[in-house]
Structure formats: C-alpha cells, structure tokens
Amino acid sequence: MAHSQPILIVICGPTASGKTDFAIQLARAFKTEILSVDSRQVYKEISIGTAKPSTEVLAEIKHHFINHCSIHDTYNAGIFEKEALPLLENLFKDHKVVIAAGGTGLYIKALCEGLDDLPKANENLRVQLQIEWKNLGVDYLFQKLQNLDLEGSKTIDCKNPHRIMRALELVLESGQSVLKIKTNPNMERPFKIVKVMMDVDRETLYQRINKRVDEMIEDGLVEEVKNVYPFKNLKALQTVGYSEIIDYLDGQGTLDQAIDKIKQHTRNYAKRQMTWFNKEAGLIPHHLFNQNMVQQR
C-alpha cells in the first residue's frame, strides 16, 4: 500500500564517504532531484575545495543549493531551512521521492527537525571572544571550549572560529553542554524522512580523504584560493582546505606542509561528522538500504 506522504531520502555521512555518488544513483533510479545539504557547496566562488559534483552531473540531474549564493552573502542553517522547506513542497508536487545529500549535520537537522530556539548572543561576551581570537588564535579558543565542554566540542569544527565562539557563548551563558541546549521540540514535517548513512570503515575513509586532497591540488585548488584570497577574512573561507592554503599564501610554511594540514584537518573533520551522525537514531547503513522498499511505501 502506497504511503500517503512524499518521501525525503537523506544521504548523510562524513566527507569522502561516497554521498554524492550514492545520491546520484538514487536520483537516477527515482527520476528525481537532489538538495545539497552542505554549508560550503552553497558558495559559487569555491568549487574545487568543496568537492562539488562535476558540471556533467549538474547538467544531468537538477541540484539545489549548489552555487546558490556568494561568499559575500550571509548564509546559515536557519536561512537554509526557510528556503528548503518551500522548495521541497514544490518539488513534491512532481516527485514522490526527493533526495537530500550532504555532511553538514546542522543543515540536516534544520531540514528534518527545525533548529533550536537558541538564546541571543551576549554582545559583551562576543566582543571578548573576538579579541581572544584575534590575539591568541583559533586553537586557543578551541582548547578553551574543550576545557569547558569536551563532548560538545567534538561536534564543532576546530578551525571554524565563528562556530567555536558561538558554542563558547552558549556554554558560558548557560553553564550547560551545547549538546543539552535545546529549547524547541522536533517540528513535524509534512513528508516522511528516510535517513541513510554512508558507513565506510575509518581506514578506507582516511585513504579516500588523502587521495581527494591530492586530486584537489592537481585540479587547481591553490589557484582557486588565490582568486578569493583578497576576501580571506570572510567567514565562508575560514574552513578546511581554504584556511590552510591561505596560511601558505601568507608565508606560513610550505605548500607541502599546507597539503599535509588539509589532510589532517579533513580527517579530524570527518571524525567529528561521524560523532555527530552516530548520535542519531534510525539511520540505515547504505549497504542495507533497499530502494524498492521506498518505492512500495
């Protein structure tokens, strides 16, 4: 018996785990479209370091939220949620199944559950943290977060100063872990959600990451970073793959050292992604996922 609700299949998992290829496979099978749930692929100026699908794939299958805005624009999970929900409503008029794929846990949460109504920032505290960031660096801030909230810090990108500062604000203001600060119940969605996890063993994943970084360098990542270097202080560029090359262009170490750091930081990021997704219930391992079951719902 067919399910009365349309279905959103969410393909999640760490970077380099094969989400894009699996999403494309499903989109072809269901003759549908894909929502990118990736906080970096939204920016049109950065492509190589964000591992966007090829131009051929983008021409074959309609993707949404790829090349969606500029690095000069403000974009976040809240904006994504407000734009994605009406888009899905429209897509479900023509498709019984839509695919979402990406590794940004907060964007997936925004799409599937809605975001928590977090307290407003304490401006004095924010100014203090920004001064600490400028004077002492992002590593100092992350160590401070680890000291205050070790478990919560595992879900935060250690090279993203803005997310670290926001987490510090929440912890210092509430006295609780960021994992416990939740004020809104899950919001019901008018569609059924099936979450599929790309389950790749850690050794294989790390090998894929190292190979992908080498391919990015070969494809021209350094030149891409040079093109956006004048805007290096923008939030969109303070992310793995770009911050390390920016440091290299600033004269901090050799290119080989920058490449090694990208690999290390990407592996660290993948570990945090796995920590995030492992806390979620009901994820179906991708090798056990049966698309026929979805078609029959």
- Please check the confidence at residue 170 and state whether its pLDDT lies above 90: no
| Cα gap 11→111, rounded to integer Å | 12
Other CB atoms within 10 A of residue 180 CB:
12
Three-class DSSP category at 203: helix
Q: Which two tokens stand for residue 153?
A: 């810090």
Are 49 and 158 in the same domain? no
Contact 240, 50 (CB under 8 A): no
DSSP three-state, residue 272: helix
- Give percent of the chain with pLDDT exceeding 70: 93
**Main-chain dihedrals φ then ψ at residue 253, nearest 5 degrees:** 90, 180
Amino acid at 51: A
Note whether 15 and 100 are same-domain residues. Answer: yes
pLDDT at 281 over 90: no
Please give the order of strands across the beta sheet that includes 7-12.
63-64, 34-36, 97-101, 7-12, 192-197, 284-285
Find the range with the poorest average confidence among 54-58, 134-138, 190-194.
134-138
Q: How many helices (H) and strands (E) does the chain have?
A: 13, 6
List pLDDT tens digits, range 177-232: 887 765 555 678 999 999 999 989 999 999 999 999 999 999 999 999 999 999 99
Looking at residue 182, what is its pLDDT?
Answer: 56
pLDDT of amino acid 117: 64
Whether residues 194 and 80 share a domain: the answer is yes
Residue type, 224: E
Q: At 91, is the pLDDT very low, low, confident or very high (cuts 50, 70, 90)?
A: very high
The answer to whether position 180 is within a domain reads no
Do both 156 and 98 map to the same domain?
no
What's the pLDDT band for 161 if we cut at 50, 70, 90? confident
Interval 141-169 mean pLDDT: 88
Integer Cα distance of 74 and 271 in angstroms: 27
pLDDT per position as a tens digit, 3-44: 579 999 999 999 999 999 999 999 999 999 999 999 999 999
- The answer as to whether 25 is a domain residue is yes
pLDDT computed for residue 2 by the predictor: 47
pLDDT greater at residue 286 or residue 187: 286
**Alpha-carbon distance 228 to 50, whole Å?**
14
Give pLDDT tens digits for 109-131: 999 998 876 666 677 888 899 89
Residue 295: pLDDT band (50, 70, 90) is low
Residue 261 in this model has a pLDDT that exceeds 90: yes
pTM value?
Answer: 0.80
Q: Given this model, what pLDDT does residue 3 score?
A: 52
Tell me the average pLDDT of the chain: 91
The yes-or-no verdict on residue 82 having pLDDT over 50 is yes
Residues 217 and 93 in one domain: no
Query: What's residue 1's pLDDT?
Result: 35
CATH of the domain at 92: 3.40.50.300
- Domain residue limits at 142: 123-174
CATH of the domain at 268: 1.10.287.890
β-pairing, 97-101 vs 7-12, is: parallel
**How many angstroms separate the CA atoms of 106 and 109, rounded?**
5
Task: Verify that 207 and 197 share a domain, yes or no.
Answer: no
With respect to residue 1, please indicate whether it lies within any of the assigned structural domains.
no
- CA quadruple 118, 124, 130, 133: dihedral sign: negative
**pLDDT at residue number 126:** 84
Return the number of other C-beta atoms located less than 10 Å from residue 233's C-beta.
8
Total domain count, the chain: 3
| Residue 245 domain flag | yes
Determine which helix (DSSP H) or strand (DSSP E) holds 36, and give its type and residue range.
strand 34-36
Instruction: Answer for the pair 35, 88: CB distance below 8 angstroms, yes or no.
Output: yes
Indicate whether 225 and 280 sit together in one domain.
Answer: no
The residue type found at 108 is I
Give the residue with greater pLDDT, 53 vs 182.
53
Q: Which two tokens stand for residue 11?
A: 């393909």
Give CA–CA dist 51/209, Å, rounded: 11
